[in-house]
Amino acid sequence: MKNRAFKGFAFVMALTVCGSCSLKGTKSAMGGQLTGVPNRPHYAPTVPYGMVYIPTGFFHMGASDEDVNYALTARSKAVTQGGFYMDATEITNNQYRQFVYWVRDSIAHVLLGQVKSNKDGQSFIDWRAKINYADPATQQKLDAMFYPPQDRIWNRKDIDIRKLVYHAESYDLKDAAMDEGRSPRDSFIIKTNTAIYPDTLCWIRDFSYSYNEPMARMYFYHPAFDNYPVVGVNWEQATAFCNWRTNYWNDYRESRHEYTEGEFKLPTEAQWEYAARGGRNESPYPWGGPYLRNKKGCLLANFKPERGDYASDGGLYPVRADSYWPNDYGLYNMAGNVSEWTSSAYYADASTFEMDMNPDIEYNAKPTDPPKMKRKVIRGGSWKDIGYFLQVSTRQYEYQDTSKCYIGFRSVISFLGRSKGDFSKQ
């Protein structure tokens, strides 16, 4: 017993001696003082391309005027919102197409065997390898990606959009926090496979007895609409896009040995309303108000004015994502054009129980959940809505697995700090 105790004591002493030896160089550099780890990289906030900075602030969330639609269920609530970056415009067709092409090319690279292995034996796609989709030999190797002969029109080999599936993995922080470390980590890893091609047929399905076939055929395909907001994308597809954008950006930064940033996400309902107000706390619209026209009589958004004169505001269907004047934060079309998905689950009485600092009601509904659990908040009104729905406080919802020709989205990423001025002092 004495010998065993001596061994334990000797082991502790050895650790102490080794620890002091390893810190000799550090001691001299720090003078024996608690100064923090030296030579840490200087952090300067990076503004993601196409985004604008929304500073930390306070606002009154909820109806500034009558809440006719929901009979005052969305009561005004004092809220403090942390800073973040937000897309200046809705995500456009061409931006979403980059995501679609990335998924398409990923599948093609695998089918063509254009995959390499690193020194640890992990496989990765060789993005430098070219793919000529017009080459008949290449098409033959990629047959699994194309429609089978019976599904072709004029025997044209088109890519089967049902094969464009994005695999995402994320960690459910909220469930993990409630579990308090009792369960293994894999209990909270969420893996999803999402078909990501927009539902172009929603143009016909949403409006019966209306000739919308040209929009169904051309809106996502034709370059004339490249800078128009993408529609026909459900909440799950918008979430998959944000996941891809996060990995796409952080992979690039890691390849340059730079620190990674946070996650791109759909805005919470509070983030969306705070950003839409543009610092105008009690105003009904992003530009202020109380009217939908300026002093020259020009309409200030793309919506359905005068009981159906869709064209009087300069648009018929959606317009370019950077149309009309931006609000005071530099955000375009926070009212009208297309409604926008948020990350928040819809509850009519959310204001009565949600937090007053960075409020967020998140629920990852499963396919087997009842429809009520799949409701997600949409905001902003659209080209087919009347003026009431353009108010920054008006709440609507749609089901997360449905797509509409009047709903798009934009993404946000958290600002890692209190204000930009803090980092200039480092």
Question: Which residues, 6+ apart, have CB-to-CB distance to 195 below 8 Å?
Answer: 161, 162, 164, 165, 237
H/E stretch holding 376: strand 375-379
For 129-139, the pLDDT digits (tens) are 999 998 889 98
CA proximity to 278, closest of 358, 332, 319, 324: 332
235: helix, coil or strand?
Answer: helix
pLDDT confidence of 2, banded at 50, 70, 90? very low
User: Which is higher by pLDDT, 164 or 73?
Assistant: 164
Six-digit token string for 223: 């370059």
- What pLDDT does residue 15 have? 42
User: Which is higher by pLDDT, 409 or 425?
Assistant: 409
pLDDT confidence of 101, banded at 50, 70, 90? very high
Q: Are 308 and 277 in contact (CB under 8 A)?
A: no
Whole-number Å distance between alpha carbons of 129 and 59: 51
Task: Find the mean pLDDT for residues 370-374.
Answer: 95
Task: Give the other-Cβ count within 10 Å of 275's Cβ.
Answer: 26
Alpha-helical segments (H) within 23-46 = 24-30
Whole-number Å distance between alpha carbons of 19 and 42: 28
Whole-number Å distance between alpha carbons of 340 and 337: 10
Six-digit token string for 132: 């000529």
pLDDT confidence of 382, banded at 50, 70, 90? very high
Q: In this model, does residue 67 exceed pLDDT 60?
A: no
Write phi, then psi, for 74 (nearest 5 degrees): -95, 75
For 319-334, the pLDDT digits (tens) are 999 999 999 999 999 9
The β-bridge partners of 146 are: 159
Whole-number Å distance between alpha carbons of 286 and 117: 51
Task: Find the mean pLDDT for residues 13-25.
Answer: 50
- What pLDDT does residue 71 have? 52
Whole-number Å distance between alpha carbons of 361 and 350: 8
Whole-number Å distance between alpha carbons of 404 and 384: 11
- What pLDDT does residue 27 have? 60
Burial (CB count within 10 angstroms: exposed 0-12, middle 13-18, buried 19+), residue 139: middle
For 243-280, the pLDDT digits (tens) are 999 999 999 999 888 888 889 999 999 999 999 999 99
Locus of tokens 């989709």: 133
- What pLDDT does residue 72 have? 57
Percent of the chain topping pLDDT 90: 65
- What pLDDT does residue 420 have? 74
Q: In this model, does residue 423 exceed pLDDT 90?
A: no
pLDDT confidence of 74, banded at 50, 70, 90? low
Task: DSSP letter for 388, please.
Answer: G
Average pLDDT over the chain reads: 88
For 175-229, the pLDDT digits (tens) are 899 888 889 998 889 999 999 999 999 999 999 999 999 999 999 999 999 999 9
332: helix, coil or strand?
Answer: coil
Distance of alpha carbon 205 from the chain centroid? 26
Domains parsed from the chain with CATH numbers: 52-92+229-418 (3.90.1580.10)
H/E stretch holding 245: helix 235-255
Rg (the chain; Cα; Å): 26
- For helices 93-111 and 235-255, the axis angle rounded to 10 degrees is 70
Locus of tokens 């209190």: 418
